[in-house]
Amino acid sequence: MQIYSGGYVENTGQITSLNRVGIYLYNNGYVTNSGTITANYAGIYSRNGSYAHTYIRNSGHIISTTKAGVYLKVSGQVGNSGIINGAAAGVFIATGKLTNNLPGTITGATGIYLKASNMTNQGVVDGTAGSGIYLKGLGNVFNSGSGRVIGSSYGVGLGASNSYLGNSGTVTGATGLGLRNGGSVVNSGTITGLTANGIYEATGSASITNKVGGKILGNTDGIRLTTSGNVTNLGLVRGSLDSGILLAGGGSVVNSGSITGVYQGIHLKTIAGYIKNTGLVESTGTIFSYVNGGITYASKLFGVQISNGGTLVNAAGGTIASGLTGVYTSGASTIVNAGTIFGTNADAVDMTGGGTLVVDPTATFIGTVTGGGTANLELSGTSTATLSGIGTQFINFATIKVDTGTAWTLSGNNTINAGQTLNDFGLLTVNGTFTDNGMVNADPSTIVFTGPVVGTGTIDIFAGSNVIFEGPVGSGITINFIDATGTLTEADPAGFAGTITGAAGTVIVACFVEGTRILTPRGEIAVEKLREGDLVITRAGEDKPIKWIGTRSIDLRRHVKPEAAQPIRIAQGALAEAVPNRDLLLSPDHALYLDGYLVPAKALVNRMSITQLNRPRVKYFHIELDEHAVIFAEGTAVETYLETGNRGCFENAGKPMVLHPDFSAVDFQAMREAQSCAPFLDDSGILVSRIRAKILDRAYATAPRQAANR
């Protein structure tokens, strides 16, 4: 039957053409079929039809034994709720529109072939020897929730960069979706590759979004992009035999769903790419080994593998997991972790190719983290955080950096090896034993070492930086002042055996050193935590408020009389059993209460248990009450500050400061004797000699024990 220039055909019976075409539309025309149309070449063929004036509506059965059930060579529209069968294609449309409604079925070697068209499927499309649906050029394919597309090769094939698939139904093929030259995909249904990939891109640059509830399942890779592309996953992507997602030519993956593969959850293979994860990325394979040529090879299972550089951001809440290695890089890469990365039987992270690992305060690593000898470890974030295992869990990093504005604590025992550098630009607290065999830079920053510092390395103090040692420092450690505005605080001078070099920075040895305990009604409180108004307990048993706390830093290298200000060390147990209960440092004229008298520390020097230290710079603290009194520091009775006209020696006195303070000036001495809370002895006379002799006798008697205590 032929229609040459428009017209309308309605078939409710049977049309059969054994030679060529069942219904031939030469230009335009309308066909409604609820019967059966059978032909050799095409059940319905439109040669020159236009989109607006060529329309095929089928609720019956259209059959072609050699070509297409419906063949629109130029343009037109097809609406199907029946059955269309074609040997080569169920439906062929050059440009136009196809709607396959329930319970419509379209089958052919290629179920539907579209050159540049749009289609919607609610029924079944089956490509028995090729693709279920193939869209060659510009156009859109919408497969709704009830829609099923089945292909022998591809469930759906898209041939152009401006082609689109929106799927909320099911798409199944040897490869679920094939992208010949890129294209765009939004999936909330299921795309399955039965023998190959869930989605495969040959060339171009694809954009793939897998929405919540969406599944992309491959027998080999879940998604394999050969050139490049961008994947956003909120659902499930799974590769049953290989990778969840493979980006062979770069691109990006943003995941808040689940991505699983046997060998890799995600693999950036050839060109650098970008990964951001807030969901789960997992390698689920079983560890095995095999022998080839006498060499045993272990299976390579990686949650994420970056083969030639790229960026991975595992955000808070994200998990990357593997039966072997969580993240493996063989090209210079950047990894940012605020979530969880773990390798069950090997490394959490292996950065063989170098790069930077940025650790956020919320990060968790289960397994060894190795930098491969060239990578950098960076501690970042805006909240306080704790990390442990530098040198044991975190190994082979060239540098370790603490970012500006951060506050990190290294807990447990940590080690900087030879050739490694720790650069602190923030606030770093190091607990436990710290072994420095490399280089530590405070530039500019504050580093507090609360435990022992040992090793053979160097600590450089740059301009404006503070380094505080609360524990002992080994003899192999060198502290190097790069700039004179740096500050070193020794809270345990007796345990300090390091070497100080470089510029004339400030070395603080406080009268009551940081950590020294002052007796208060609340118990013994570290002096650095005391404030004006706080109560202290006097020797008389009274609670007295602190009126003022004086401070003064002194450059003893420029002092005209340095011995007048060099600190005196009273060793632990020097005065009696556990008195002091740890080393106590005082200025030369700071008095101790002994045998009912106030005796200046300088008068007790015996070069054994009481010595004068030689420091380039010192900083003193002093406590003043409303009246002169005796208080307890480290269990030792010592005087409070007495105003004898020397307040100007302190930098916070609110008056002109004495340039080179001399705490032993004669006029000071007379005022002291007149106003002291107890009789004051100078550094001469028989009473002082007797006290000094008694202390010296004790020093000889207890020398072995005192040495052991230090």
- Looking at the predicted structure, is the pLDDT value of residue 284 above 90? no
Q: How many CA atoms lie within 13 A of 99 on its CB side?
A: 10
Q: Record the tokens describing residue 565, joined without a space.
A: 């200000």
Contacts of 541 (CB under 8 A, 6+ apart): none
Tell me the pLDDT tens digit for each residue of 166-209.
999 999 999 999 999 999 999 999 999 999 999 999 999 999 99
Residue (of 89, 99, 81) closest to 63 by Cα position: 89
Given this model, what pLDDT does residue 530 score?
Answer: 84
Instruction: Identify whether the C-beta of residue 185 lies closer than 8 Å to the C-beta of residue 208.
Output: yes
Q: Show the domains of the chain with their CATH numbers.
A: 1-152 (no CATH), 517-709 (2.170.16.10)
pLDDT band at 297 (very low <50, low <70, confident <90, very high): very low
DSSP summary character for residue 474: -
Angle at CA of residue 578, ends 577 and 584, nearest 5°? 125
Q: Record the tokens describing residue 634, joined without a space.
A: 């480290």
Tell me the pLDDT tens digit for each residue of 626-637.
999 999 988 999
Gap between the Cα atoms of 674 and 22, Å rounded: 130
Q: Which of 223-237, 486-500, 543-557, 602-616 has the lowest mean pLDDT?
A: 486-500
Tell me the pLDDT tens digit for each residue of 117-143.
999 999 999 999 999 999 999 999 999
Cβ atoms < 10 Å from Cβ of 65 = 15
- Looking at the predicted structure, is the pLDDT value of residue 286 above 70? no
Tell me the pLDDT tens digit for each residue of 9-26.
999 999 999 878 999 999
| Residue 681, amino acid | L
Tokens 């004495």 correspond to: 658
Given this model, what pLDDT does residue 512 score?
Answer: 57
- Looking at the predicted structure, is the pLDDT value of residue 704 above 60? no
- Looking at the predicted structure, is the pLDDT value of residue 664 above 90? no
> What's CA 466's distance to the chain center, in Å?
27
Largest Cα–Cα distance in the chain?
140
Q: Record the tokens describing residue 242, joined without a space.
A: 């290989």
Given this model, what pLDDT does residue 55 score?
Answer: 96
Gap between the Cα atoms of 123 and 80, Å rounded: 9
Tokens 């070193």 correspond to: 488
Helix (H) or strand (E) run with residue 133 in it: strand 133-135
Q: Record the tokens describing residue 584, joined without a space.
A: 């106590």
Given this model, what pLDDT does residue 659 score?
Answer: 44
Angle at CA of residue 496, ends 494 and 500, nearest 5°? 135
Q: Record the tokens describing residue 410, joined without a space.
A: 């290294």
Contacts of 648 (CB under 8 A, 6+ apart): 655, 656, 657, 658, 661
How far is the CA of 474 from the CAs of 15, 131, 482, 495, in angstroms?
A: 102, 74, 21, 8
Q: Record the tokens describing residue 434, joined without a space.
A: 């710290």
